[in-house]
């Protein structure tokens, strides 16, 4: 089995214990991941703290930081094929999808490399004689980056690149279900030439590694992607020492289809929106809201597209639906299929483990659709994170908005219509961080991404994201020759 090391203070470190990572297509363990402890966390944070305050990194100017980020982007591009196949092996991702994703990921580093030397303070107008007042944006400190298993490199890149561009140092903890690609990326960080301690990687479990990392007194900020419950726990732990946080949490995003839409495009968009990555994306369009006048026709259309989806070996380039990433998640989805049954949901497609020959012993779930659902059902309210769609009818625009917004989450929504007024109206009324109109799953490092309501705090991607890793200092500089009466506020 393949084995990996932690990265602490620029050196590979072996942990005394390790745990197995399973290949979800083969259904067998394939790699040994180091099981770090609170001592490793402490060593990693101390290294990051030293690098921030004493090491050469503190003397790097923005241009130099940008150059290192560009170098890291280049290395990522050079090693994209290896990283892609690791993700397929470790996480059941499709090779075709990973190749596309990894060809894109270097751009994230180039984008923030370009932004590093555009962090500008300002000279502010002053209402006090002989005083200059200016602002500086300084790194927020040591950042703890905690990621989920569904897209390890992508979730890491959009935190790591702005954090390093801002001049922070970091300790990364990937999910215990998919740590291999992050550990491989760690070796590229060394190769790129970042000074020791600027980036550290510790792997292991939430309570053993995640909690001590979030609670560490020398960590100033936590950037987290994961489930709502863990997000709340992380927020509570961070609050104890008043750390800054950004949280990217779950969703139960609606795709809303009106009768005037191009229904063929809409059906394809809806199917890709929920079944891509086997539904294991925070932006999965897991609720399909359909106007009642086209309910039967459109449900059948979606069913027929979904029924034709190709399942099988994630290494085959024409596979469209791969296995569920890990056994725990597989069991969780199966529980939701039981819940749907006992709640009396009307099954239109799937609803069970896939036992097709091309799926072998892998952890596959059939693309599943429930018809004529109700927004109060658990399968319509809770994030399943699997290939499960629930169809909910509506009668008019206002009802569609009310149903869409009747959710604890507010990550994203899709709207399918050709009516310009409706597009503008819906985009204003939907309580979500991203609205897609006649498309779905379009994301870019150039565009802010994040959630309303329980879907998160703060934004990733785009220019705005870099300010989550900076803090503003206001500097007052007096040129007065006579010091005025210090007991009177100026
Ligand atoms: O996520 P967790 P998991 C959902 C999805 C899935 C469920 C559980 O529904 O079924 O979450 O997945 C670390 N302090 N999403 O277990 O638990 C943990 O080790 C600090 C939705 O992967 O949220 C991992 O690195 N850290 C989501 C990270 O937090 C802790 C994406 C996320 O773990 C910790 C992934 C603690 N006390 C899963 N406990 C989305 N919507 O994108 C755990 N961790």
pLDDT digits (tens, 9 = 90+) for 262-276: 999 999 999 999 999
Judge whether residue 333 has pLDDT over 80: yes
Q: Is the CB of residue 155 less than 8 Å from the CB of residue 175?
A: no
Q: Is the CB of residue 379 less than 8 Å from the CB of residue 335?
A: no
- Residue 32, pLDDT score: 97
d(CA 274, CA 287): 9
d(CA 339, CA 327): 18
Distances (CA, A) of 303 to 78, 132, 259, 270: 40, 66, 17, 10
Length of the chain: 490
Q: Is the CB of residue 447 less than 8 Å from the CB of residue 457?
A: no
Mean pLDDT of the chain: 97
Judge whether residue 484 has pLDDT over 80: no
- Residue 167, pLDDT score: 98
Q: Is 248 a catalytic residue?
A: yes
Please give the torsion angle defined by the CA atoms of residues 101, 105, 108 and 110, in that order, rounded to the nearest 10 degrees: -140
Residue nearest ligand 1's atom 19 by CA: 206
Q: Which of 34, 27, 37, 30 lies closest to 13, judged by CA?
A: 34
The values of phi and psi at residue 478, to 5°, are -95, 135
Task: Give 229 Cα–ligand 1 centroid separation in angstroms.
Answer: 8
For CATH 3.40.309.10, list the domain ranges present in the chain: 254-437
- Fold assignment, 254-437: Aldehyde Dehydrogenase; Chain A, domain 2 (3.40.309)
Mutate to test the pocket of ligand 1, among 146, 150, 230 (most ligand atoms within 8 A of CB): 230
Which candidate in 87, 168, 228, 282 is catalytic?
Answer: 282
Q: Under 8 Å CB-to-CB from 280, ≥6 apart: which residues? A: 150, 324, 325, 329, 385, 386
Instruction: Work out the pLDDT band at 418, boundaries 50, 70, 90.
Output: very high
Q: Under 8 Å CB-to-CB from 119, ≥6 apart: which residues? A: 62, 137, 165, 166, 466, 470
Task: Give 226 Cα–ligand 1 centroid separation in angstroms.
Answer: 4
292 three-state secondary structure: helix
370 three-state secondary structure: strand
pLDDT digits (tens, 9 = 90+) for 120-134: 999 999 888 899 999
- Residue 485, pLDDT score: 82
The values of phi and psi at residue 59, to 5°, are -95, -5
d(CA 328, CA 226): 15
For CATH 3.40.605.10, list the domain ranges present in the chain: 2-249+455-474
Q: Is 264 a catalytic residue?
A: no
CB 66 near ligand 1, within 6 Å: no
- Residue 473, pLDDT score: 98
d(CA 215, CA 124): 37
Instruction: Work out the pLDDT band at 487, boundaries 50, 70, 90.
Output: confident
Mean pLDDT for the stretch of residues 265-290: 97
d(CA 114, CA 165): 9
Tokens of 181: 């690609």
Judge whether residue 490 has pLDDT over 90: no
Going 368 to 372 to 378 to 382, the CA torsion angle's sign is: positive
pLDDT digits (tens, 9 = 90+) for 37-76: 999 999 999 999 999 999 899 999 999 999 999 999 999 9
Judge whether residue 169 has pLDDT over 90: yes
353 three-state secondary structure: strand
Residue nearest ligand 1's atom 27 by CA: 226
- Residue 129, pLDDT score: 86
Report which secondary-structure segment, H or E, holds 45: helix 38-53
Strands 388-394 and 287-291: parallel
Q: Which atom of ligand 1 is the closest one to the Cα of 385? A: 9
Q: Which of 405, 416, 452 lies closest to 433, judged by CA?
A: 452
CB-neighbour burial class of residue 63 (10 A; exposed 0-12, middle 13-18, buried 19+): exposed
The residue with tokens 């210090």 is 486
In a 13 Å sphere around the CA of 234, the CA atoms on its Cβ side amount to 30
Tokens of 254: 């609606």
Tokens of 150: 């569904």
Instruction: Work out the pLDDT band at 383, boundaries 50, 70, 90.
Output: very high
Mean pLDDT for the stretch of residues 331-355: 97
Mean pLDDT for the stretch of residues 139-154: 98
CB atoms within 10 A of CB 239: 10
Q: Is the CB of residue 184 less than 8 Å from the CB of residue 160?
A: no
- Fold assignment, 2-249+455-474: Aldehyde Dehydrogenase; Chain A, domain 1 (3.40.605)
CB-neighbour burial class of residue 236 (10 A; exposed 0-12, middle 13-18, buried 19+): exposed
Structural Rg of the chain based on CA atoms: 24
Q: Is the CB of residue 320 less than 8 Å from the CB of residue 311?
A: yes
- Residue 39, pLDDT score: 98
Mutate to test the pocket of ligand 1, among 19, 147, 148 (most ligand atoms within 8 A of CB): 148
- Residue 55, pLDDT score: 86
Mean pLDDT for the stretch of residues 373-392: 98
Q: Angle, to 10 degrees, between the axis of helix 152-165 and the axis of helix 180-192?
A: 30
d(CA 65, CA 363): 42
pLDDT digits (tens, 9 = 90+) for 204-256: 999 999 999 999 999 999 999 999 999 999 999 999 999 999 999 999 999 99
Q: Which of 320, 302, 322, 293 lies closest to 414, judged by CA?
A: 302
CB-neighbour burial class of residue 382 (10 A; exposed 0-12, middle 13-18, buried 19+): middle
- Residue 182, pLDDT score: 98
Instruction: Work out the pLDDT band at 370, boundaries 50, 70, 90.
Output: very high
Which residue(s) pair with 412 in the sheet? Answer: 434
Which residue(s) pair with 320 in the sheet? Answer: none
pLDDT more than 70, % of the chain: 100
Mean pLDDT for the stretch of residues 409-434: 98
CB 206 near ligand 1, within 6 Å: yes
Tokens of 174: 């990937």
Q: Which atom of ligand 1 is the closest one to the Cα of 174? A: 25
């Amino acid at each position: 089995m393949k084995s990996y090391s932690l990265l602490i203070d620029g050196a590979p470190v072996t942990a005394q214990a390790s745990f197995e990572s399973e290949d979800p297509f083969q259904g067998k363990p394939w790699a040994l991941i180091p099981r770090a402890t609170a001592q490793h966390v402490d060593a990693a944070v101390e290294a990051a703290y030293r690098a921030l305050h004493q090491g050469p990194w503190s003397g790097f100017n923005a241009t130099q930081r940008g150059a290192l980020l560009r170098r890291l982007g280049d290395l990522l591009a050079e090693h994209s094929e290896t990283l892609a196949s690791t993700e397929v092996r470790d996480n059941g991702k499709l090779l075709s999808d990973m190749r596309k994703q990894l060809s894109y990921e270097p751009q994230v580093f180039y984008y923030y490399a370009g932004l590093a030397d555009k962090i500008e303070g300002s000279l502010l107008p002053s209402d006090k004689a002989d005083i200059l007042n200016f602002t500086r944006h300084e790194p927020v400190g040591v950042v703890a980056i905690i990621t989920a298993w569904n897209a390890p490199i992508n979730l890491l890149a959009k935190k790591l690149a702005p954090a390093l561009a801002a001049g922070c140092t970091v300790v990364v903890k990937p999910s215990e279900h998919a740590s291999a690609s992050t550990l491989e990326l760690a070796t590229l960080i060394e190769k790129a030439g970042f000074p020791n301690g600027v980036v550290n990687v510790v792997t292991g479990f939430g309570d053993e590694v995640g909690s001590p990392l979030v609670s560490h007194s020398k960590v100033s900020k936590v950037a987290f992607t994961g489930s709502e419950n863990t997000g709340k726990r992380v927020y509570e732990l961070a609050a104890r020492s008043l750390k800054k946080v950004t949280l990217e949490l779950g969703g139960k995003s609606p795709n809303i289809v009106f009768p005037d839409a191009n229904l063929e495009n809409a059906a394809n968009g809806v199917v890709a929106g929920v079944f891509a990555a086997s539904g294991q994306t925070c932006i999965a369009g897991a609720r399909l809201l359909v106007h009642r006048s086209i309910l039967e026709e459109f449900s059948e259309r979606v069913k027929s597209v979904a029924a034709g989806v190709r399942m099988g070996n994630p290494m085959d380039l024409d596979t469209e639906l791969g296995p569920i990433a890990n056994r725990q998640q597989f069991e969780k989805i199966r529980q939701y299929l039981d819940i749907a049954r006992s709640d009396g949901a009307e099954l239109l497609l799937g609803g069970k483990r896939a036992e097709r020959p091309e799926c072998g012993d892998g952890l596959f779930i059939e693309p599943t659709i429930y018809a004529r659902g109700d927004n109060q059902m658990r399968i319509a309210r809770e994030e399943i994170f699997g290939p499960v769609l629930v169809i909910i009818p509506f009668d008019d625009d206002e009802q569609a908005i009310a149903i869409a917004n009747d959710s604890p989450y507010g990550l994203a929504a899709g709207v399918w219509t050709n009516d310009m007024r409706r597009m503008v109206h819906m985009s204003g009324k939907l309580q979500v961080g991203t609205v897609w109109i006649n498309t779905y799953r379009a994301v870019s490092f150039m565009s802010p991404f994040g959630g309303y309501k329980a879907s998160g705090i703060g934004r990733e991607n785009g220019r705005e994201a870099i300010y989550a890793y900076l803090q503003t200092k206001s500097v007052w500089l007096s040129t007065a020759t006579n010091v005025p009466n210090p007991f009177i506020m100026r």
